[in-house]
Amino acid sequence: MLAKAMSLFLLGLVRLLTGAQARWYGCPPKAEQRIYFANHQSHADLVMIWAALPQELRSITRPIAAKDYWTASKLKRWITTEVFNAVYVDRAHTAEQDPLEPLVQALESGDSIIIFPEGTRGFAEEPQPFKAGLYNLALRFPGVVLVPAWIANVQRVMPKGEVVPVPILCSVTFGKPVELQPGEDRHDFLARARQAVIALRDV
């Protein structure tokens, strides 16, 4: 009950501050297994894209969260575990550990996931080059639909150094699914996937 109440509270708060508008271009909001991949400019990206999804998709979609940041306090850990049902990724993994393993487990269990292929936040207008994780997941799970997304303005809600959020109209634009082509190499696929995200910026 507490997790549900917190979910409704956060959803209302995020929508109050940002509008959390979802715009669907090229694909409808459909309850199928998907990997949503988006640009990354703020810790609020996770919350923003979660809030933009309709309830029937939020219930089956798990955002990826950096373990070191989102477990730094008991409250953050509780929210990401109990409310978002997040998948934690350890950015300080050892060479023996596969950083994709938690994502693989989530996909194998039938969940959809939200990932940020840059791997870390960027501050330029365009996303940084995508890391190999999206390609490796696409290769391993060919039946999962890959949906690009552009998150607009969320970095302005909580400018660097500020404590109080600033209400700004934000949106998440979801685009046409991207498919890994037979024989397509990693570099070409990641460049194409990144461009699919950038193309949504001005839609």
Tokens of 88: 């934690």
Alpha helices in the chain (DSSP H): 2-18, 45-52, 55-58, 67-70, 74-78, 101-108, 133-140, 154-157, 186-198
Closest to 71 (Cα-Cα) out of 60, 61, 58, 82: 82
Give the pLDDT of residue 16: 65
Comparing 3-7, 114-118, 132-136, 178-182, the range with the smallest average pLDDT is: 3-7
* Range 108-118 average pLDDT: 95
User: Strands 61-66 and 112-115, how do they pair?
Assistant: parallel
Whole-number percent of the chain with pLDDT over 90: 42
Q: What's the pLDDT score for residue 190?
A: 97
Q: Is the pLDDT of residue 179 over 70?
A: yes
Q: pLDDT at position 103, please? A: 95
Interatomic CA distance for residues 180 and 115, integer angstroms: 17
Q: Six-digit token pair at 139?
A: 């290769």
Q: Tell me the pTM.
A: 0.85
User: Which has more confidence, 178 or 7?
Assistant: 178
Relative to beta strand 87-89, strand 21-24 is: unpaired
pLDDT at 168: 52
Cα→Cα distances 174→1, 103, 149, 181, Å: 31, 21, 4, 21
How much is the pLDDT for 46? 79
Mean pLDDT of the chain: 83
- Helix, strand, or coil (residue 50): helix
27, pLDDT greater than 80: yes
Cβ count near 74 (within 10 Å):
8
How confident is the model over 51-92, as pLDDT tens digits?
Answer: 888 889 988 999 988 888 888 889 888 888 888 888 998 876
Give the tens place of pLDDT for each residue, 116-171: 998 766 565 788 899 999 999 999 999 999 999 998 865 444 444 444 444 456 77
Predicted local confidence at residue 162, as pLDDT: 46
Domain positions in the chain are: 1-199
The answer to whether 152 touches 201, Cβ cutoff 8 Å, is yes
CATH superfamily of 1-199: Glycerol-3-phosphate (1)-acyltransferase (3.40.1130.10)
Output the pLDDT for position 129: 92
105: tokens are 């487990």
